[in-house]
Structure 1
Amino acid sequence: MKQHSFKVVIPARFGSSRLPGKPLLDIAGKPMVQHVFERAVETGINPDGNIVVATDDERILNICHGFGAHAVMTASEHDSGTDRLAEVAEIMGWDDESIIVNLQGDEPLMPHQLITKVAINLAENKSAGISTLSTPIHDADDLFDPNIVKVVTNQTGLALYFSRAPIPWDRDNYKSASKATMVSLPHPQRHLGMYAYRAKTLKTIAAASAADIETLEALEQLRALWLGIGIHVESISEQPGHGVDTPADLERVRAEFTHQ
């Protein structure tokens, strides 16, 4: 892969049950979405036509244009982020082999090195249509937390399954959430929700119906596995900075920027 030859799409919806207007919330004097855009710019790719904010609200669109980002309006009824990315790829006219990183609009602390890493990983794994990241789980509470998605891979790093349940299940040591001991090797892996896709993979997924396992677990990446699309997963040693899902997350991230 030639250095800096990928795209970044930043989905930034206005609606959020816990933080309405989340992309516009102020962090250190800037809207959150601007911080995320700046993380993408830090990868070194040319922002013009390669970094795109995808929104469903004109207020976000106008703010993005104000700080110089390329932003496009997308449909409000998309069921998943994958569908929104597929629409952006069509709007932008990107070819089927383009590599597109989905950088969530509530990740202002995402290191630019990881954005680049997930793109390069996909370019180097020709049998995969998607790449993503994981980090080891060392705490039993995290292992049994359904809000923390776990992933198991094969020997080549391709995902076997993602689940909100604790996987792999250590029969002898995971008696229950209160009695679990973290002694099994390798450590369970926490999935980090940043992806790189080939544009043709986005089209395939968006054209398919939801899979039963996807609906059951409420995990859209399971549709790709159901369709036989390879997902390459690289384990990194440390989890990146907090995303923003709750008011408490917002204050934590604001504090991080205050101390930078």
Structure 2
Amino acid sequence: MKLVKSVHDVIWDEYKSYKEVKLYISKWHVVDVDWNKYSENFTIAYKENNEIDLLQTLHNMGGDIILRVAIDLGVDTPDFIPSIPTFKNELKSDYKTSYDTFISAYKKIESDPSLAIGLANSALESIIKEILKDERISSKVNGNETLYKLSIIILKEFNLTNEYFPRELKTIGSSLLAINQSIEKLRSDKTFFHGKTDDDYIIKDSIYSHFIVNTISTIGLFLNSYYKMLYPKHEVEMELEDDLPF
């Protein structure tokens, strides 16, 4: 119910007229006419004046359709992808380039799972590169590193691979590295980001893009939080002149 209301408000805010709203909704409406058999994926409802009843129409949609509409509009879906709203806020304030890339990935989760995974991978690469630009971090990158190589560097800088750490902490480091390596391999081997032939397996099911994008959100939040803990921002103290006239 809350998601439908949010989608409803965003659609009206974006399109502002019954005509534009109906045109947008029609893009999601699929009608199948086979001889005397008629079927549709949802029913478009109308008011007495023959204008679209958007709220009722959205309620007529199945959960999978309303979720895809929400993602297309950039509406947060915390019940389905819980870490993404927080991650988006973090990116927006600290990593502009990564934010734009991640939003593009988020909007493609349903319509193009392969592209969503590739873009999300790129967003995480960009975040790590930005963190490693900090002058207080000794390791530097040349710009050509992949997600796996960047992960090795930042985990070492964060000391998460220290052999003297408790086993549980070392497991976090090694698990992060394994996950990021797998995400990179998916991007390289199972998406269109690198040239593919008709015989190659390509991820086309959105259940995988949901999982990967949500995983990248969680990893990104952890790395950014850990970075802020180890390297807090400098606080600049303002010095006042003694001879100020007030």
TM-score (norm 2): 0.31
Structure whose CA Rg is larger: 2
TM-score by length of 1: 0.30
Greater per-residue helix proportion? 2
Higher relative contact order (CA 8 A, sep 6+): 1
Larger strand proportion of the pair: 1
